[in-house]
Structure 1
Amino acid sequence: MPNSLYLKMENLDAIKENASIPLFDRDQITTSIAHIGVSNFHRAHQAFYINELIEKHQAFNFGICGIDLLDSDRKTYNVLKDQDGLYTLITKSPTGFQKPKIIGSIVEYFFGPENPMAVIERLANPDIKIISFTIAEDGYHLNEITGEFNQKHPSVAEEVVNPFNPKTVFGYLTQAFKLRKLRGISGCTILSCDNIKNNGDTMKHSFLNYVEKNEPELLPWLKTNTTFPNTMVDRITPTTQHKDIDALKNNFLVEDQWPVVCEPFTNWVIEDNFFETKPNWEKVGVQFVKNIEPYQNMKLQLLNAGHSILGILGTLHGYKTVHEAANDDVFIQFLKSYMHQEVAPTLVDAENMTFKAYKSTLISRFKNSNINDSLSRICSESSAKIPIFILSTLKIQLSENNSINHIAFIIAAWCKYNDGINDLGYAYNIVDSISNTLIRMAALSQLNPVKFLEIEPVFNDLSSNPVFTNKYLHYLNHLRNHTIKESVKQFNDKLL
């Protein structure tokens, strides 16, 4: 049997026998995109699209400079530096694995904690036309209750004292744009690719708020030299497992220290609001639209909400993966009914992306057993996800006196979820920035059931809404005395 090969530039010619390799000369690529937060999702999504554009349309001016800013990102940095920025994308369809694809669009890499000034200089370089990022919800440093930028966050406070050793994305951007202004260089597009509603607007609000408080003289320049398009990004990307690394090595003879696993489906919709020149990404399927809202609402309220629902119900039952819960007829019937009765009335169909077609595709995506996405990943940080994915639907349904039964049941199930014990009697970890509060309030709800709804950062004043609380209390009482499977089945059969 032939020996496996480490993933490096010098081995690509030999690797191409077993995996697709970049069909372009990476030395010809110039970098115009700086991406902050080189996550698995970025590597499965944005970097994949750019790789396709370079490969199929010779867009050699769209190379990516990867940038990580957190000490916890050192492993990613070390791996990609060791592999010359190359990594393997493993696409898993329901019927099996597709041929692994080596992605070569990341041609530079910087690590902030190692050399912050090098990162600032790179961001200030006039070659950089787009600064994109995937920094997750906590990277925006928003106050949990008000939603405003949290100037008192420890990382923010630290870099105010030492601005040339920034800790946040805002600190790096501020110093980079100060240099651009000083040197007479124009600004660029700031492109959020995070899974939050109105991500561009949120980034703009947070960043300008930060600058107004810390570098107010920069604010007028920023307002005329930057744009913040909203985006919708969509591709299920589970955590890479050791068995994925082993399968790549044993079956395809490629030794990649950190490959990325994803589903075949992918979608990227961007608000048409670029500073100066708009890239020609439509050549590889990116949609540029005037109004992003129908697209992002459909994705957040269907895919992300669906994930959270399957995560809560499945974990309580004792399942470990999304596909197990999605292939359970009782749970998937509940989810389909929720989408039809409570989500559909709140959505406006987006062009070329109808609700019915997206919903149908979504169920099959959830059922893909080869993705093996863990429910523990799905349920992590639910306190940040549920207000965006589910309570936003509740707000509309309440305002229009429409059905809220499914949502009341889901929130009651989430309360029970925070007891930390499944119906088989096994404990599971609750991974959340406010886990102590969730666990304590769920425990108190055993005696005072409405107590869980008094978590203000999550529910605001929902505990004072009798229409919702009456249904919630009814379902929570039933869930406390029955298994999740029994309760969902009775709900589906309209016996609950």
Structure 2
Amino acid sequence: MPDFFYLNTENIHSLPNTITTSKIDRDKIKTSIAHIGINNFHRAHQAYYIHELIEKHNELNFGICGIDLLESDRKIYNILKDQDGLYTLLIKDPNGKHENKVIGSIVEYFYGPENPMAAIERMAQPDIQIISLTVAEDGYHLNEITGEFDMNHPEVEEDTKNKFSPKTVFGYLTQVFNLRKKRGLPGCTVLSCDNIQSNGDTIKSAFFNYVSNTEPDLLPWLKENTTFPNSMVDRITTETRSKDIAKLKNEHATYDQWPVVCESFSNWIIEDNLMFDKSVWEKVGVQFVKSIMPYENMKLRILNAGHSILGIIGTLSGYSTVHEVANDEDCVSFLENFIDIEVAPNIIDTETQDKISYKNQVISRFKNPYITDELSRICKESSSKIPIFILPTISKQLSNKQPIEHAAFAIAAWCKYYDGIDDFGKSYDIKDSISNQLIRTATLSHQNPQLFLERNAMFSDLITYDLFRERFTYYLSELRSRPIKECLVQMNNKTLQ
């Protein structure tokens, strides 16, 4: 017997019993979903749900065709091809119960940069009922000031000139639906699974904007033949580390080139606006609701905002993982106070007890010692996260003349984060598409704190409020004059008074 088995269809039945494998003949699975963006989150969440649907309920008509559009996606595309679409999901419960589960719902895969027309043609086929996507916030090409679709974005402009060799999601979708229209085929549901406010409405607005400027004759057909439901997705998924690969190989005799690590908790809520039978997906716990807003607001402003805040204050405090900072009483007390005082009052249509329960559940999830979620991942591209997760809370509080102390502190800490050195003198990497601008404005803020706010467009509305400017300036001065731990203790003590 070999020391380990490569993960692929040929070896699937030779894997040890510590690996959960499927009993389904994957050749019988029919594809009806095209998913754009085969990242770790998709493989831990949507692909997992579809796998459960196929495995536990013998629903063989929901196979996934994975489609990657970025040059940086070549590695995962090559690995999935090599492994016949199979990968291992390492599910880690906080009580120590772990499962290594081979997921087999991705049965086809295309790499757009290699052959864009092949990917377009596949999505245009009538068997595709759903085009879902996880392309992250920057994949929507929204203007950072207005929040509207940016037709002047360089990639968007390039797509308008090379429409049969697109780079953006919108360029691909336009050609997909052009083909469907010309062939007399039905449309389909476009399902965003990204952490964006009203993600379905957002992609619909951006896509229709793109089409109205490039292929206006297609727009009436789209309005009649497509739906864009909002959705809320929730499962903490980390970056894959070399030690995860090594552990599978050495302890479970399975060589998976890119497994995925996630928590056991999972949730998926979708607005009831689909072009297929929702009752099938309900079998695996997908919830369908009339309005996603209360669920979405709780998730974005508690879990996602909480992640970002712990990422910032944790990095400055010298921590490197989420569970470390979540087990620091001063840090987690600050987060709890932020949620209770400044977030919860602005989440409407939800019972107070639900908000308290969700907050406690989220913090418990953050403390999971088996999820080694690096703060560097949490802080990555925070310039596209902070405006979605935290700034809306500040706007609501200011409009209602309510406190903004904790949120202003978090933004001041975010500014200090771009100094690049924690309270122990240790430097850390900053990964952000506009990192040069943020670092430059953080440097300028040493002389004039207001310049960080005035020269970053995301604050354009907030800087009209004197209270926000004053509290940001105060807390930035505090954070630069003494350790963040002392500042957190003072904040928490003030809240108790």
Range of TM-score over shorter length: over 0.9
Aligned positions of 1:284-323 closer than 5 A:
284-323=284-323
Equivalence for 2:3: 3
Report SS of the residue matched to 2:212: helix
Q: CA separation of 1:323/1:475 partners in 2, compared to 1, >3 Å: closer, same or farther?
A: same
Equivalents in 1 of 2:150, 2:353: separation in Å?
A: 36
Equivalence for 2:61: 61
Shift of residue 439, structure 1, vs aligned partner: 1.0
Contact 2:92 2:99 in 1 (8 A): no
Equivalence for 1:233: 233
Aligned positions of 1:24-423 closer than 5 A:
24-96=24-96, 98-275=98-275, 277-278=277-278, 280-348=280-348, 350=350, 354-423=354-423
Q: What is the TM-score with the length of structure 1 in the denominator?
A: 0.97
Contact 1:384 1:458 in 2 (8 A): no
Contact 1:201 1:230 in 2 (8 A): yes
Report SS of the residue matched to 1:280: helix
Contact 1:349 1:355 in 2 (8 A): no
Deviations 1:447-496 (A, max 9, x none): 11211111342111322311222222221111111011111111111199
Report SS of the residue matched to 2:67: strand
Shift of residue 315, structure 1, vs aligned partner: 0.5
Equivalence for 2:464: 464
Q: Which residue identity does 1:392 align to in structure 2?
A: P
Shift of residue 425, structure 1, vs aligned partner: 0.5
Shift of residue 353, structure 1, vs aligned partner: 9.0
Shift of residue 112, structure 1, vs aligned partner: 0.7
Q: CA separation of 1:487/1:352 partners in 2, compared to 1, >3 Å: closer, same or farther?
A: closer
Report SS of the residue matched to 1:201: helix
Equivalents in 1 of 2:167, 2:441: separation in Å?
A: 33
Contact 2:412 2:472 in 1 (8 A): yes
Report SS of the residue matched to 2:248: helix
346-355 vs 468-477, which moves further: 346-355
Contact 1:346 1:393 in 2 (8 A): yes
Structure 2 unaligned residues grouped into runs of 5+ = none
Contact 2:148 2:206 in 1 (8 A): yes
Contact 1:225 1:275 in 2 (8 A): no
Shift of residue 397, structure 1, vs aligned partner: 1.0
Q: What is the TM-score with the length of structure 2 in the denominator?
A: 0.97
Q: Which residue identity does 1:234 align to in structure 2?
A: D
Deviations 1:194-231 (A, max 9, x none): 11110000100110000000001101000100000000
Contact 2:132 2:191 in 1 (8 A): yes
Structure 1 segments of 4+ aligned residues over 4 angstroms from their partners: 349-353
Report SS of the residue matched to 1:284: coil
Q: CA separation of 1:352/1:339 partners in 2, compared to 1, >3 Å: closer, same or farther?
A: closer
Equivalents in 2 of 1:257, 1:402: separation in Å?
A: 50
Report SS of the residue matched to 1:227: coil
Shift of residue 349, structure 1, vs aligned partner: 5.0
141-150 vs 39-48, which moves further: 141-150
Shift of residue 278, structure 1, vs aligned partner: 3.5
Equivalents in 2 of 1:295, 1:128: separation in Å?
A: 28
Q: Percent identity?
A: 62
Q: CA RMSD in A?
A: 1.6
Equivalence for 2:443: 443
Structure 1 unaligned residues grouped into runs of 5+ = none
Deviations 1:130-171 (A, max 9, x none): 000000111111122222222222222222222111111111
Q: Which residue identity does 2:68 align to in structure 1?
A: D
Deviations 1:351-383 (A, max 9, x none): 899212211111111011211101111011111
11-20 vs 132-141, which moves further: 11-20
Equivalents in 2 of 1:281, 1:350: separation in Å?
A: 25
Report SS of the residue matched to 2:437: helix
Q: CA separation of 1:65/1:484 partners in 2, compared to 1, >3 Å: closer, same or farther?
A: same
Q: Which residue identity does 1:484 align to in structure 2?
A: I
Contact 1:408 1:472 in 2 (8 A): yes
Contact 1:91 1:261 in 2 (8 A): yes
Q: CA separation of 1:140/1:350 partners in 2, compared to 1, >3 Å: closer, same or farther?
A: same
Contact 2:330 2:488 in 1 (8 A): yes
